[in-house]
Chain A
Amino acid sequence: MTTMTERNMKIRVTRYRPEQDDKPWDQEFEVPFNRDSSILEILGYIKDNLEPSLSYRWSCRMAICGSCGFMINGEPKLGCKTFIRDYVDAGEIHIASLDNFPIERDLVADISGFVEKLETIKPYIIREEEKPLEDGEYLQTPEELEKFKQFSQCINCGLCYAACPQFGRNPEFLGPAALALAFRYNQDGRDEGNQERMPFLNAEEGVWSCTFVGYCSEVCPKHVDPAAAINQGKLASNIDYGLNLVGLAGGKK
């Protein structure tokens, strides 16, 4: 039973088929939608009924897997969390692969560089000496958790990288999500790995490539606010520099 009348929307999809195409091109579709239709569902409709060769990534349909990031009318958004009804006034919807990443095929961005960056900053708890299992967990208080909880909500969707002009200019930049995650572990009271991460933060490709554009925080679907993490990281980097200058931090410069 449908309680909503179905209408049509013009959908323009930027396609790229590496076997045939030298550069991306746009393909248009007329697609029926109702009040509940998300971009992801519309792409499913196109693939099932109009263009079986269309490629795109998705999994959970509920903004937790971070797979379905696209440029939607020029803004980085999750397909599952963006609804056709909000674009009725715009008259058409343009869907393209995430900006600043290479296009693997159609709407599939090659995010492997981003994943490598995540690994670089050692996103796990580092202890100088591991406690034996029988000694139990590493404890923390709710106040300690509060210091980094927000920054741990990242789902690695890459929208912040598509939003970041500094990453677009220099793909070597570690970028919002990786730097936010590094800051998250540095803030974690159970972690003792600061000095292993600071060289990555301190580097030219670390926090200092950020010019606080702030669009990463604007587009983040989980309100992680990576811009805040990076710029608090600049403060930490300055303190680390000062301590190293007088030989107190004991870390690699």
Chain B
Amino acid sequence: MNRKPYIRKQSPTWWVNKPFYRFYMLREASSVPVFLYGLFLLWGLLSLSQGEASFAAWMEMAGSPASSIFHVIVLAAALLHAYTWFQLTPKIVVLRLGKFRVPDQWVMAAHYLIFVIVSAVIIGSSIN
């Protein structure tokens, strides 16, 4: 039999036309600002190791308007990342207690609860 199947190659823009794929790409892209923020904190740590003047300069830079905009973007990315991750957790965390299966909403709620508690503790301790 003479076969000639037509093979398509995935285009680099495969994700552009479908909202589901676009949101997935946004979710994945949210890791980039979070990564940059990691570098930003490492920079601060490096400044600290180089003495008071260096750290004071970093602190001043961290308070600049450009840095504030950067922080807002990072916060938005981190929240999106957390939200999408919490949405997925019930698919992976399947808890059974005998015949009882812990509902998906409980698994998600537990994540949000811990998130709120940890955030409150960190924000609370940084205010004092």
Contacts and interface: CB of A to CB of B under 8 A. Distances in A.
Contacts of B88: 212, 214, 231
Contacts, number: 59
Nearest to B91: A228
B14 A168 contact: yes
Interface in B27-61: 28
Nearest to A110: B5
20 contacts: A16-B6, A18-B2, A18-B4, A18-B5, A23-B6, A100-B8, A102-B7, A103-B5, A103-B6, A110-B5, A211-B28, A212-B88, A213-B21, A218-B20, A225-B91, A231-B88, A231-B92, A232-B92, A232-B94, A235-B92
Nearest to A218: B20
A227 B91 contact: yes
Nearest to B10: A168
Contacts of B70: none
Interface in A192-223: 211-215, 218
A24 interface: yes
Interface string A72-111: 0010000000000000000000000001101110000010
A169 B10 contact: yes
Interface in A99-130: 99-100, 102-104, 110
Interface string B100-112: 0100000000000
Interface residues of B, number: 24
A135 interface: no
Interface residues of A, number: 31
A207 to B, nearest CB: 11
Contacts of A218: 20
Given A100-B10, A102-B7, A214-B20, 7 more contacts: A18-B3, A103-B6, A110-B5, A143-B96, A146-B101, A214-B88, A231-B88
A225 B18 CA distance: 20
A215 B99 contact: no
A231 B101 CA distance: 18
Given A74-B18, A212-B88, A218-B20, A102 B5 contact: yes
A165 interface: yes
Contacts of B99: 143
B21 A165 contact: yes
A104 B94 contact: no
B17 interface: yes
A225 B91 CA distance: 9
A187 to B, nearest CB: 10
A104 B3 contact: yes
B24 interface: yes
Contact of B6 (A18, A168, A225, A227): A18
